[in-house]
Structure 1
């Protein structure tokens, strides 16, 4: 019985070691670097999936504002799932879209629409929201 308990403890410790090393390695992964560099390099970044209606909704907000976001279509990349994992590590969510403006995480589709309707999005982008409302 004591031998079985030791094996169980050993298995649990080994599992934690493997889990800990895999979590630590994703923080410095090429995909994590890609996410960080992409967010830093562009004023507006949307991590998206081309078929997602929520992603289309978030992209439509920027079209209304006459702004062109940098869009990363995760489903069209071989490493898309790895990028989504790295994004999840960064913000704590796996859902798409995920929108960033000037390096600041805005959120998903609902958050983006809410920021648009409140005028916060125009303010973050440094554009006059009144002109867009007249369109």
Structure 2
């Protein structure tokens, strides 16, 4: 787990599922913001053999206390799932974390991160400051 989340060549790590709409939403946000990231697709071919994806998911839940996917890490630090990642983007803390690692975020151009959520969800607004 440590090797996956603390790789200096990939400071943003997204633990995801290929079919998950919330994972797609986080991917779209990161791409729109110009944030390079590594996606570890736990249901992908590389993680199917021997249920490696299931083992990583259990280790991830034990580490974070969250059984949900996606889960995002920046510089080895757990940000959270989709909602927490959108909140961190909207309140600027994600940008500050990335800036500390030498990565710039196109925040103003992206706007409200919640716009990347699936259209079938009830609309969400950022938390009041």
Q: State the shift of 1:128 in Å.
A: 5.2
**2:27 alignment counterpart:** 59
1:9 equivalent in structure 2: none
Q: Tell me the CA shift for residue 66 of structure 1.
A: 0.6
Residue 76 of structure 2 corresponds to residue 103 of structure 1: yes
RMSD: 1.5
The answer for unaligned runs of 5 or more in structure 2 is: 111-129
Aligned partner of 1:89 among 56, 62, 69: 62
Q: What's the counterpart of residue 12 of structure 2?
A: 44
Structure 1 residues 40-97: Cα deviation after superposition (integer angstroms, max 9, x where no partner): 1131000000110111111112112111211100011121011101111111111100
Which residue number in structure 1 is paired with residue 40 of structure 2?
A: 72
Q: Distance in 1 between matches of 2:109 and 2:58?
A: 40
1:134 and 2:100 aligned: no
- Compute the displacement of 1:132 (Å): 3.5
Moved over 2 A (4+): none
Alignment partners' CA distance in 2, 1:120 and 1:67: 14
Aligned length: 100
SS in 1 for 2:43: helix
Which one scores higher on RCO, CA 8 angstroms, separation ≥ 6? 2
